[in-house]
Structure 1
């Protein structure tokens, strides 16, 4: 059995968010990458949440990668390369929004993810000490994003990928790591998204009953 977290020479610098929510190191880049797009649009305590995109352009993508030790070359990220990165992020989010059991059956999500991952292949390389490592096959400015391929593979092997989910609240859709023992959480935060949805459902039942 191959564990890419041990074999791929990819530097992972966990963000404050991944540390705060205790996301495993081997999924930190994947978690941050999926959440680099913030589509939350709810109001909490009277304050409207502002949407945002950490990868608003090639320069911002480069800065995001650099903060995580994934920018290994001084080459510029060109517009076409930026589009490839966004394609990967979109396919990752589409895949993670599926329930873990549904991911194995959703042909569209699987096809989209596979098409994106083909552009970030990993190659086996022999070391002088007799060991083997996996390295990105790309050699351009996007090579570091192959960390996403590695973490998806590693998570599928260890089973931790099934615990990486997208919040069921339509006004949230943030990816979270389900640390509950039965792994049945549906919301990123039960005290926020969970309570909001339950309150809304209760009010709708009250109106229907009235």
Structure 2
């Protein structure tokens, strides 16, 4: 769990999915006169290894190869694509197809025992086995419904993944005071221009 996932009270069971999806920061707005710089935390295989190690997802001595980085980036892109759809739309085959194709690189095995009774474990034995934990979180979240609350901000200049803590789970923006206000102000200006 990262500082960001703790700050925004993302449940531990979805923290790795949240953090992984947000390794790509495409925000491009100015806030209080300061432009936000876009960033990708996973530019190199070493970046991916460091990100995984920070979260306890990298086995000791495991090395991340460039091909593994490519598989991880494809998984991230498919995850973000999936999360940008509303929860009802996520169940359509056209939405799940790309994600399912990327998930195939991160197989899981059911393992019985322990306090949970059963859990999903990585079938891989290499450095990317840790990303199978992210896939297991996706699976568990989809199964218990908590993944429906993980969304992508509707503001085009943001597109940050957020956890919707609202009771009806209908939030559209990661922060209504920032992205929501900006979107509403833009819509108001457009209505004013159209009325002139």
TM-score with structure 2 setting the length: 0.95
Give the structure 1 partner of residue 141 of structure 2: 155
Aligned residue pairs, count: 195
Contact 2:89 2:95 in 1 (8 A): no
What is the RMSD of the two structures over their aligned residues, measured on CA atoms? 1.5
CA-to-partner distance for each residue in 1:8-51, whole Å, 9 max, x for gaps? xxxxxx10000000000000000000000000001111111000
SS in 2 for 1:100: coil
Q: Distance in 2 between matches of 1:117 and 1:47?
A: 38
Give the structure 2 partner of residue 120 of structure 1: 106
TM-score with structure 1 setting the length: 0.89
Contact 1:164 1:176 in 2 (8 A): yes
Displacement after TM superposition at 1:201 (Å): 0.5
Q: Unmatched 5+ residue regions in structure 2?
A: none
Displacement after TM superposition at 1:124 (Å): 2.2
* Structure 1 segments (4+ residues) deviating >4 Å: 126-129
**Higher relative CO (CA 8 A, sep ≥ 6), structure 1 or 2?**
1
Displacement after TM superposition at 1:158 (Å): 1.6
Give the structure 2 partner of residue 179 of structure 1: 165
Change (3 A) 1:188 1:141: same
Displacement after TM superposition at 1:127 (Å): 5.0
- Match for 2:56 among 54, 69, 79? 69
Q: Distance in 1 between matches of 2:145 and 2:110?
A: 23
Q: Distance in 2 between matches of 1:42 and 1:125?
A: 45
Q: Distance in 2 between matches of 1:127 and 1:196?
A: 50
